[in-house]
Amino acid sequence: MRRSTLLAAATATALSASLFTGTLPARADGTAGGPVLSDADDWYEPGLLFVTAHSDSPLTRITAHFHPLGAPDGAPEAGETEDFTQYSGQDARSGVWRAPVHLAELGDYRITVDLEDASGATVTGVLSPHTLHYRTVLAISGLTTTPNVPDYLHQEVSVSGTVVARDPRDPDTSAPAAGITVDTDAGHLHTTATTGADGRFTAAFVPSEPSFQLYTVPEASGSYREAVVPPTYPQNLHTSQAPVRFSASTHALNLAQGATGTVTGRAEIQTTAGWQPLPNTAIALGDQAHVVARTTTDSHGDYTLHVPSDSPAPDAELVAGTGDLPFQQTAAEPFTLHVAYTTHTTLSPTLHDDGTLSADGYVSYDDAHAHWPAKPTVTLQYSQDGKSGWKDAATVAVPIRHNKPLWQETFARTLTKVDTDAYWRARFDGNPDLASSTTKPVHLYRYATRVTGFHASPDPVRKGQPISFAGTLQYKKGTTWKALAGGSPTLYFKPRGSSTYHYVCELDTDKNGHLKGRVTAQQDGTWAVALSRETATHYLASTKVTDYVDVR
């Protein structure tokens, strides 16, 4: 069903494009410029034909002929129509014309079209690239969803309606279609139902996300296997997420390293019947860097959360629920988890134009009873999403210069051949006296860039005339090259006989990454373009691409 919608969109795009790209046939008098047929199609309306055409003079007559698809050449036609009225277009020289189709038998038909314009130029028997599917049309009427906005107490959604069949030979009359399979898609969920003798169907599902698009589409099945099913457009639905609250036995834990703390409480959800226990809901304790502990409420909404001391989290939150649940909100309470002896680590990473990464920072502690390890180190780590899958990039020694509380001990390292699109953090490895500490992830990315399809035109060009540049500036994210909008690639020029490129100017790029800019032709030579200046913090310099232009 989504495929049908996309096909319709693709058809509309092709029809629009065909106004400008139709093949130009010969006129009756042997000259060019006469009527041109771009397309003839039913547009999922078997009782109508849409003809897309253009000519240098206004079109005055259009006749469409229909032959059974399997009929041999020369066989009698099954019918014709010339009752065309213009459907779209600025004037009668170009656009789409529409006419009703009346045939005796259902089936698929080959379409040929005769065209005549005001100059008297004609073309006859032009074969359309599409076929007329003169078949029964299946559609859904009276589609309803109950409830329109499901909530925690009313989660199941019922979708019902009637599938009707319409014969193009009698387009004003429709009949219930029995035994039809109806597909229902609601976000990630899929279900089916079958129509009864009266064409009615009912399908039910429980949403799995807060907002989703509902597609309900009949299949060409049962007694209507050859039917046409027009594209179906979705309904935008959403759920009602009820407020959540919870209690906690404490909002602060001060733990010795290696100890475990406990937090207990109850989660509740607000419904039209009042606040009631919320079962099977996640309770998590964590900060922006990581989750410290997690549990789930029982059937009565009660929970017990065991909190380890592995990761200090002085500015944490205790959270009930997750943001992607369809029928409930999340609730959060501030929480402090302190582990002696706390350390503090900072990281200032920089990713350079050449792809190298420089990282520096410091580690410190507050408690006078703590002592540095014999050889303290910081581990530089990276991750693709900044949340999981952390990998060690390097272990950096922290030279001890002060050996006192509150004094910052610095570290620094430059890395080569690093991932140029990753989150970075520094983790102080700690010891029994000093708890480990980790910086917040910092997203550093420098995408590889390139210019494709570079071309200078015209070539040759007269001196003093403008030269335009075509090409696309792209960047590589993962394994995919994408358009780089708003970039400023540098234009260079090397005169004929020279071995040196000279800076000319900066080009612009549009929203699709296409190069924009002109220069005035002065002499023969090679033009080159590359992203090499003002790459800011997100893109690596590209290699030059070139094109030679002859100036006359």
Q: Do residues 441 and 347 share a domain?
A: yes
- What's 261's domain CATH number? 2.60.40.10
Q: Do residues 280 and 324 share a domain?
A: yes
Q: Rounded mean pLDDT of 458-487?
A: 92
Q: Do residues 425 and 454 share a domain?
A: no
Q: Do residues 149 and 127 share a domain?
A: no
φ/ψ bin of 280: left (φ > 0), alpha (ψ from -120 to 50), beta (otherwise): left
Q: Rounded mean pLDDT of 264-271?
A: 96
In the chain, what's the furthest Cα-to-Cα distance?
A: 104
For the chain, what is the radius of gyration of the CA atoms? Answer: 35
Domain boundary at 445, 468, 499, which? 445
Distance CA 474, CA 462 (A): 31
- 351 pLDDT band, cuts 50/70/90, is confident
Q: Closest by alpha carbon to 203, among 224, 219, 222, 225?
A: 219
In DSSP notation, 275-305 reads: EEE--S-EEEEE-SS-EEEEEE--TTSEEEE
* Strand-pair partners of 157: 205
Mean pLDDT computed over every residue of the chain: 90
Distance CA 101, CA 213 (A): 35
Q: Do residues 354 and 301 share a domain?
A: no
Asked if the structure places residue 14 within a domain, the reply is no
Asked if the structure places residue 533 within a domain, the reply is yes
Q: Do residues 509 and 441 share a domain?
A: no
Specify the pairing of strand 94-100 against strand 48-54: antiparallel
Question: What pLDDT does 12 receive?
Answer: 39
In DSSP notation, 238-250 reads: E---B-EEE--S-
* pLDDT at position 264 over 60: yes
Neighbours of 375 (CB within 10 A): 10
What pLDDT, in 10s, does the model give residues 90-113? 899 999 999 999 999 999 999 999
Residues 156, 99 contacting (CB under 8 angstroms): no
Distances (CA, A) of 544 to 418, 450, 531: 23, 8, 8
Domain boundary at 427, 445, 463, which? 445
Tokens of 193: 């139902």
Asked if the structure places residue 20 within a domain, the reply is no
Specify the pairing of strand 518-520 against strand 181-186: unpaired
Number of domains in the chain: 5
Distance CA 160, CA 378 (A): 62
Asked if the structure places residue 25 within a domain, the reply is no
What pLDDT, in 10s, does the model give residues 77-88? 999 999 999 999
Tokens of 85: 């009225």
Question: What pLDDT does 539 receive?
Answer: 85
Question: What sign does the dihedral 475-477-481-485 (CA atoms) show?
Answer: negative
What pLDDT, in 10s, does the model give residues 36-77? 999 999 999 999 999 999 999 999 999 999 999 989 888 899
Question: What pLDDT does 13 receive?
Answer: 38
Asked if the structure places residue 19 within a domain, the reply is no
Asked if the structure places residue 12 within a domain, the reply is no
Tokens of 498: 């020279």
Asked if the structure places residue 516 within a domain, the reply is yes
Q: Do residues 460 and 433 share a domain?
A: no
Q: Do residues 278 and 191 share a domain?
A: no
Question: What pLDDT does 224 receive?
Answer: 92
This prediction has a pTM of 0.53
* pLDDT at position 189 over 90: yes
Asked if the structure places residue 9 within a domain, the reply is no
Q: Do residues 222 and 251 share a domain?
A: no
Q: Rounded mean pLDDT of 465-484?
A: 93
Interacting residues of 417 by C-beta distance below 8 A, sequence separation 6+: 355
* pLDDT at position 499 over 60: yes
Q: Do residues 333 and 351 share a domain?
A: no
Q: Do residues 126 and 148 share a domain?
A: no
* pLDDT at position 450 over 90: yes
State whether residue 311 is helix, strand or coil.
coil
Specify the pairing of strand 252-256 against strand 331-340: parallel
Q: Rounded mean pLDDT of 185-200?
A: 96
Domain boundary at 103, 118, 134, which? 134
| CA 265 to the chain's CA centroid | 41
Q: Which of 120-134, 159-173, 365-379 has the lowest mean pLDDT?
A: 365-379
What pLDDT, in 10s, does the model give residues 136-154? 999 999 999 999 999 999 9
Question: What pLDDT does 37 receive?
Answer: 97
Distance CA 4, CA 227 (A): 14
Residues 449, 539 contacting (CB under 8 angstroms): yes
Q: Closest by alpha carbon to 61, among 94, 77, 80, 83?
A: 83
Distance CA 2, CA 162 (A): 20
* Strand-pair partners of 61: 116
Distances (CA, A) of 176 to 140, 195, 208, 224: 10, 9, 32, 12
Residue numbers of the domain that contains 114: 36-134
Q: Do residues 142 and 155 share a domain?
A: yes
Q: Rounded mean pLDDT of 381-395?
A: 95
- 535 pLDDT band, cuts 50/70/90, is low
